[in-house]
Chains A and B, each alone.
Chain A
Amino acid sequence: MAVRLLYFAWVREAVGTGEELVDPPAGVDTVAALIDWLAARDPAHADAFRDRARLRAAVDQMFVPLDASIAGAKEVAIFPPVTGGEATGE
């Protein structure tokens, strides 16, 4: 089933797009498996996802760990750890 992928901040820049629609095979059932599948398909994705410890994810706008299921997901977002709203310091 097609899943809408969203990327933010430097992940978006490294992947080269902020949004794409993909149709992963049945065995790709977690965020981590999705990341592996995307990285295997394309060098820009592989580069963006090289350091998994620097990636965070949301499934249908809920923040989840990378081992979370994507079964039935309509939207998966992959992004760096958030760096907060508010001013640059304090």
Chain B
Amino acid sequence: MIRVVVGPDAIDTAGELDRIEVAGAGAVASFTGLVRADDGVGVLELEHYPGATEAALVALAEQATRRWSLAAATVIHRVGPMTPGTRIVLVATAAAHRAAALDACAYLIDRLKTDAPFWKRETRAGEARWVDARQGDDAAAARWHD
């Protein structure tokens, strides 16, 4: 069971974790990403490619489901303007045992940073700037290549 949501609404972590437990697996792992206030970021705005984003996230969730035999995978990604402390992403995975759930969760969070069409714009002291691509993210995603 794959659940992918991309939109401007606040992420209901508790509700999503309750929902994925219904898959009936023995282990659920999750990752919540929050907007950081690093270097004086006041607002983080996320733009995406509607349609292509959801397709990319579903494809990643399907890959993870096959690789780790997941019972369920959830990827909820918020877009639009957000202030520090706001939940921006939730990844949750359900599997028979903890190793598969934890590994699949780490895989999804690494891969979605490089494989999904999101672009970040940070506003610091009233000045907005598009964030450049990070080589570190590519390296994190590359460690999962077979």
Contacts and interface: CB of A to CB of B under 8 A. Distances in A.
Interface residues of B, number: 35
Interface stretch (B19-27, B63-71, B94-102, B118-126): B118-126
Main secondary structure of the interface of B (DSSP, over half): mixed
Interface residues of A, number: 21
A63 B88 CA distance: 24
Contact of A87 (B36, B52, B55, B133): B36
Contacts, number: 86
Main secondary structure of the interface of A (DSSP, over half): loop
A85 B49 CA distance: 12
19 contacts: A9-B130, A12-B47, A61-B55, A79-B49, A80-B119, A81-B132, A82-B115, A82-B116, A82-B117, A82-B118, A82-B133, A83-B119, A84-B118, A85-B89, A85-B112, A85-B116, A87-B35, A88-B36, A89-B36
